[in-house]
A and B are shown apart, each in its own frame.
Chain A
């Protein structure tokens, strides 16, 4: 797809009129999607898609059109030429944009990860083998994900990630299940089978009679996958400059009052070590890392070129959403083997689910426990916990009530496939938190 995209970029370049320029963004994938239920196939198939977003500009007037490409050069040339003409017409309706900021100094790059993915047969066979004799449900997605950028200044960027995600749950009964995620860019059948075996082994603890706790404050351990949900929520407006400058950030108390989190909390956008491409929609190259919160103190925002122009700041390679794509949280000193001992008596939360803000100004969020969540007494798992709702503020959870972070941080690759397969990731520790508010 790389050659096809760059060839189309050259076609656009050749069709520009005096005073015109363009940005072109490519997003494509060839994906195997296999859905499982009850350790059998529910839906299986493949999707091949190619999208080109062409943005035409004349001075600071600009407009964009996203089109689907066929992969046949002659057909796609016609489609692209038509898009150029459409956008040329649209520009006549478009006012000057005071916030139009693009990279004009070409910074070309190319990254193509080797293909070490399983064949479709290997993937299906491996997952069905791992489900044999159990009630397994879940999803396999695999194949190349392509992203590209080109502009009329001659910049060319390309990124191909060959990646897979195996996102499965083993059910014991009702809503009692252990979830496992095995994702990466190099398939290792033995590693997958070992992870599946580990998940199945944890089912035994779910067989004990479940416990229901009364609403109140509990000492909890949030496993990395549970903390991922909190961070995902915080990423919804927490780190973008636009939300900070318009006072709509959930971290408004950090911005306006200098409220701090626990000194152990350091958050970084770490593009250099994630799967997301190193370039963004306006052609700027992303820095390897941006420190968002340093030792509990708010430091830098993610700043898109548009926000930079509007609010008089320097852009730092963020996309328009100004949301992290590779969020890292610094680990602490708690060894993974000591987690239950450190928790003592409380709740081990394997996963959280369906979070939302209950008071955005207070950075207070609510959500549910899900999957393998246990009641623990004196460092021993006693019973699975019936699902509970929590409702608490990040200032409490990751502030004074943060009692410890694991030294090991897990790389969590997103399994999201809305419109296209995601290349987002997070690398997070687990967290011991006191007085975590359960409400229902």
Chain B
């Protein structure tokens, strides 16, 4: 029996008498390796393990999380969760969802899956990884004007088990890889930075991920492009066509589609912190979110994407759904509790970042489906515009409507041809109109599987991993501008 399964069984034997209980055990072992300005970073490891107990009693729901995984500790947490459920009874915002309830003859869920990487993380030694990081760091330092440079690798091996009083048992484990490269070039009061996706490169897997994403070959280009930006003019100002690379598309999707479609935001849960949404319940099924080219999916089945899974943290089976199809808003990003409160369809996206936080509606894998154009075709459509790559700045209002983004690098496009590099490329717009100006999407060959390890939301706060796969996207009539 695995570590997490053993702890879950230990709780099941001591669970309190109540209408429903679940125990979610998580254990993550992490390693961070890096080289900064030519010196190896202190090696940092972590081993984090704990259990989250959720109890339903009458009309109340309560939770208790603990790192005390002894039988006594789990029993105490169960009692605490029950006390919270009783305290909340009669005062909850909505009737409780009937989690894990079975129809006549339906069997309990039994799911046990380990995501197997093609190459295990420990296939090469830690010492060899550090050696290879040193080489990457040296390749970043192209010139004396490179004043800050680093190469890093973070790996987490995570196991989770969800067991419930209904007899469901769901276990999974996966490795998560986040590589990083950074080069800052400076001259006087001008500093420009290029990175390897600035944290947007995150995948499930092992060492194979680093080959798949081109980590071992990217350093020279990143160093060169930082230097190139030092000499580049500012991005021009004006309304023009904007071609977003996949490593900017992912954050555009995240902020102006993902968050507004989260059902708990629409229901008001996040109004005190992460914000509300310009989307209202009556929009589903009819609202034109984007142009006819826009197809957005919740897809937990993409191999290697950061938030691929078979069941969410409420135990709801996860499957692919179109959230926006042909530009029309179809379905919300809401888990079982939010769906029962709003009485609309959602997805299996009740997720928690760790054992010490309760599940809430999260994005998981939120993808823009591929279009039909090659990258060159997209460029060829542009008479006057700019392409922007690699997000560096993001800001959006609490209804997820008025946004402004900045990128690391831009290139002018004139008469269908890529032109000069420009620095400080920024653009701003309004979600409700921006996606309707979508004029083109890259084909399947241009799709990149990216994401973010730090999507922040919730009270208490949670930073969670999400995945975003997208091709480049072409938008018309966008306000762009530079620095200064």
Contact = CB atoms under 8 A, between A and B. Distances in A.
Contacts of B404: 356, 358, 366, 389, 391, 439-440
B443 interface: no
A417 B273 CA distance: 12
Interface in A317-375: 353-362, 364, 366-368, 370
B82 to A, nearest CB: 11
A141 B189 contact: no
A104 interface: no
A171 B46 CA distance: 42
Contacts of B428: 389, 439-440
Nearest to B83: A120
Contact of B50 (A49, A138, A357): A49
Contact of A49 (B37, B67, B392): B67
Contact of A358 (B70, B186, B406): B406
A48 to B, nearest CB: 5
B267 interface: yes
A361 B404 CA distance: 18
Contact of B272 (A69, A139, A141, A368): A139
Given A366-B404, A417-B459, A37 B126 contact: no
Nearest to A28: B67
B265 to A, nearest CB: 11
B66 interface: yes
A63 B193 contact: no
Nearest to B89: A41
B344 interface: no
Contacts of A406: none
A48 B66 contact: yes
A47 B462 CA distance: 14
A345 to B, nearest CB: 24
A44 B84 contact: yes
A390 B459 CA distance: 27
Contacts of A247: 147-148, 184, 186, 191
Contact of B40 (A97, A248, A358, A439): A97
A359 B47 CA distance: 38
Contact of B459 (A35, A70, A175): A35
A103 interface: no
Interface stretch (B169-177, B281-289, B394-402): B394-402
A70 B395 contact: no
B212 interface: no
A62 interface: yes
Contact of B43 (A46, A94, A416): A94
A130 B159 CA distance: 42
Given A63-B45, A358-B406, A137 B272 contact: yes
B54 to A, nearest CB: 8
A69 B67 contact: yes
Contacts of B188: 256
B87 A175 contact: no
Contact of B46 (A67, A253, A362, A370): A67
A289 interface: no
Given A37-B269, A72-B68, A356-B393, A43 B39 contact: no
Nearest to B46: A66
Interface string A87-104: 100100111011110000
Nearest to B76: A48
A357 B406 contact: yes
Given A46-B84, A68-B67, A40 B45 contact: no
A250 B271 CA distance: 31
B358 interface: yes
A137 B269 contact: yes
Contacts of B61: 43-44
Contacts of A47: 64-66, 356-357, 460
A168 B77 CA distance: 27
Contacts of B397: 353-354, 368, 370, 387, 389
Contacts of B357: 47
Contacts of B48: 51, 66-68
Interface string B59-86: 0011111111110010001001100100
Contacts of B214: none
B88 interface: yes
B207 to A, nearest CB: 17
A45 B483 contact: no
Interface in B271-303: 271-273, 275-276
A17 to B, nearest CB: 19
Contacts of B70: 70, 72, 75
Contacts of A120: 84, 87
B130 A98 contact: no
B71 to A, nearest CB: 11
Contacts of B360: 43
A439 B45 CA distance: 45
A193 B273 CA distance: 21
A387 B398 contact: yes
A59 interface: no
B268 interface: yes
B61 to A, nearest CB: 7
Contacts of A246: 37, 147-148, 184, 186
A212 B37 CA distance: 48
* Residue from the set B63, B93, B396 with the largest chain A CB neighbour count within 10 Å: B93
B123 to A, nearest CB: 16
A99 B39 contact: yes
Given A44-B62, A362-B484, A417-B460, A70 B40 contact: no
Contacts of A51: 48, 67
Interface in B303-338: none
B269 A95 contact: no
A83 to B, nearest CB: 8
A65 interface: yes
Interface string A271-298: 0000000000000000000000000000
Interface in B349-366: 354, 356-358, 360
Contacts of B271: 37, 137, 169, 171, 177
Interface in A138-159: 138-139, 141
Given A45-B65, A361-B483, A368 B189 contact: no
B106 interface: no
* Residue from the set B148, B356, B358 with the largest chain A CB neighbour count within 10 Å: B356
Contacts of A232: none
Contacts of B211: none
26 contacts: A40-B91, A44-B61, A44-B88, A46-B80, A46-B84, A47-B66, A47-B356, A51-B67, A65-B46, A66-B47, A83-B47, A93-B125, A124-B87, A124-B88, A139-B460, A246-B37, A246-B184, A247-B147, A253-B189, A356-B404, A359-B482, A364-B484, A389-B404, A389-B428, A417-B459, A421-B460
Given A41-B88, A94-B40, 15 more contacts: A31-B460, A38-B268, A44-B62, A55-B42, A69-B67, A120-B87, A246-B186, A247-B186, A248-B191, A355-B395, A357-B392, A358-B406, A367-B395, A368-B398, A389-B395
